[in-house]
Each structure stands twice: as C-alpha cells, then as structure tokens.
Amino acid sequence: MELTALKPSTKPSTKPSTEPTEEPSGERPGERPVGRRDTDGMAVAAFVLGLLGLLVLNVVLGPIAIALACVALWRGTARRGRALLGLGLGVADLVLLAALVSADGTVSWSLAG
C-alpha cells in the first residue's frame, strides 16, 4: 500500500477571504489613535478654560474655550459632553464680559467693589 501526500490545490480561490487583514499601524492593541486622544484633550481643555474664564481673563479664555470645543466637536471627540460644556462656558464667559462691560463701562473688572 502506497501513501501519497495530498497536494494543495494550485487553483486560486474565487471566494473572498473573511479573515481580517492586519496592517502594521504602529499602535499597541487597546490604545486609542493619537488623533482621538488629541481631540479628547481639546475637549477637556475647553471645559477647564471656560470654567476659569468665568473667574479671570474671560476676554481671552472665553474665545479660546469656544475654539477648542468647536475643533474637538468637528474632529469627533469621544468626550462630546465635555466639549459641549466647554462651548457653553466659553459663551457664558463672553456674556459675562458683555454684562460687566455694560455695567462698568470698562473691559477690566474686579470682585472688590
């Protein structure tokens, strides 16, 4: 009795492969892409700067918070709620500035009366 080895078929398969192809991306498994991490940082920074802007330098921090929140939302951040809070706080900074300017007539203000 003679045993012959089975030869694999040299004919190409016509059905598409269902196996996912792995391409080296330079990322470790389980890590978020760098772009996503940047937008999450922008959302957090917008929130913090908007919050600080309610107390000091609202003429500077308000527009920066608005810009960072808009960019984070436009790029699709995972922290959408924090970006929206940063946007709202940035707008509140400018509203507070407008109210204080109309009451005092100056751009600078202080808590001591």
pLDDT at 35 over 80: no
Q: Name the residue among 66, 75, 74, 67 with its Cα closest to residue 36.
A: 75
pTM: 0.63
Contact 85, 47 (CB under 8 A): yes
Domain regions of the chain by residue span: 35-104
Query: What confidence score (pLDDT) does residue 39 get?
Result: 84
Q: What is the mean pLDDT of residues 32-48?
A: 79
pLDDT at 86 over 80: yes
Q: What is the mean pLDDT of residues 33-45?
A: 78
Least confident of 14-23, 51-60, 75-84, 102-111: 14-23
